[in-house]
Amino acid sequence: MTGGLPMEVPAPGLPARVRIHEVGPRDGLQNEPGVVPTGVKAEFVRRLADAGLDTVEATSFVHPRWVPQLADAEQLFPLVRDLDVRLPVLVPNERGLDRALALGAREVAVFASATESFARANLNRTVDESLAMFEPVVARAKAEGLAVRGYLSMCFGDPWEGPVPVERVVGVARRLADLGCDELSLGDTIGVATPGHVAALLTALGAAGVPASALAVHFHDTYGQALANTFAALQHGVTTVDASAGGLGGCPYAKSATGNLATEDLVWMLHGLGIETGVDLGRLTATSVWLAEELGRPSPSRTVRALSHKE
């Protein structure tokens, strides 16, 4: 499909393999304006697994009032749970955890904020109150043998507060790790980070006892910085990267553009660096092209556009 391109040229000091945490079906579809039929969602998750992604965040057990796009979590999860991939689901509280457990979920994620402003806007709580809410969720999930991921949003900048100090993020990250989260995903929710900022945060987290091996990075491409930031994170030992197939959820035509890093753009870079992902880029691109047709608009991923033009 790409004439042997990208040419594989490793760079020193990078990992041999990166795990991509695919967030398209959850973070992507949650930020799309329309509601996608449950059957299409299930097909999407299946195709992502077929493309070689080994972790696909499937849905969210948030109250449907807040995220109507994912109100069908109970119907969707049974359609995909037998796939041979990791299928984490988002749970906001104990009620969400109950629903996920009842359906047989084996991995869950909680969603915290590094800033007070976003904690209030998104969770209607202070940071302290939200961590108190997560404490029993994480404890019960761990007791049930589930893997738990902690999302930490607004790790670099916040729309209300501006730049977010590194120490602030380290403090909340340390507390999420202490609750028992197996992995923390550092979110650049508004896409303002640059590579030096990424390096500084990862260095500070390492010094505070949260090593790169326990971290994932979750960059948004709002200002086009996501891949440069990812490269800096790889240079600092990170081996798990979040991305959204086709850049889903990052619709460049909507004012609400969040600009998720497209999995295809990430895979292009990783494969060019000779880093193994297990992903078949052609199949993944075909999946995003298919979903874009279902959604009725083109994918914002540059790689999807370039490869699908060539087809």
Nearer to its own copies, 101 or 199 (CB): 199
- Identify any residues that bridge with 109 across adjacent strands, giving them in sequence order: 90, 149
Evaluate whether 96 touches 146 at the Cβ level (below 8 Å): no
Question: Tokens at residue 71, please?
Answer: 């109100």
105-164 positions binding its own copies, by CB under 8 A: 156-157, 159, 162-164
- Closest approach, Cβ 137 to its own copies, in A, equals 32
- Tokens 């990812």 correspond to 230
Taking the complex as a whole, the smallest distance from the CB of residue 160 to its own copies amounts, in Å, to 9
Closest-CA residue to 27 (of 224, 278, 218): 218
Stretch that binds its own copies, among 5-13, 84-92, 140-148, 171-179 (CB under 8 A): 5-13
Give which of 276, 23, 275, 12 is closest to 149, Cα–Cα. 23
**CB of residue 45 to its own copies, shortest distance in Å:** 24
Which positions ≥6 away from 65 have C-beta within 8 Å? none
Does 262 participate in binding its own copies (rule CB under 8 A)? yes
Residue 232, interface with its own copies (CB under 8 A)?
yes
* Per-residue contact flags (x/-) with its own copies for residues 192 to 231, judged by CB under 8 A: xxxxxx-xx--------------------xxxxx-xx-xx
CA pair distance 272, 110, nearest whole angstrom: 33
Q: Give the separation between CA 311 and CA 307, rounded to whole angstroms.
A: 7
Residues in the chain: 311
Structural tokens at position 97: 């955890």
The residue from 217, 251, 291, 295 that is catalytic is 251
Question: Exactly one of 240, 259, 263, 295 binds its own copies (CB under 8 A); which one?
Answer: 259
Is 168 a binder of its own copies (CB under 8 A)? no
The beta strands (E) that lie in the chain are given as: 19-22, 55-56, 59-60, 89-90, 107-113, 147-153, 157-158, 162-163, 183-188, 215-219, 240-243
Closer Cβ to its own copies, 76 or 193, answer by number:
193
Q: Tell me how far, at minimum, the Cβ of 253 lies from its own copies, in Å.
A: 9
**Nearest to its own copies of 88, 259 (CB atom):** 259
Answer whether the bond into residue 6 is a cis peptide, omega within 30°.
yes
Closer residue to its own copies in complex, CB, 41/220: 220
Query: Whole-number minimum distance, CB 220 to its own copies, in Å?
Result: 10
Known active-site residue 155: no
For the CB of residue 67, give the shortest distance to its own copies in the complex, in Å: 23
The binder of its own copies chosen from 104, 252, 278, 282 (CB under 8 A)? 252
If the CB atoms of residues 93 and 194 are measured against its own copies, the closer one turns out to be 194
CA distance 38 to 60: 13
How many angstroms separate the Cα of 86 from the Cα of each of 15, 74, 101, 180, 195?
21, 18, 15, 19, 29
List interacting residues with its own copies (CB under 8 A): 2-7, 9-11, 14, 156-157, 159, 162-164, 191-197, 199-200, 221-225, 227-228, 230-232, 252, 255, 257, 259, 262, 265, 268-269, 271-274, 301-303, 305-306, 309
Q: Which residues are catalytic?
A: 251
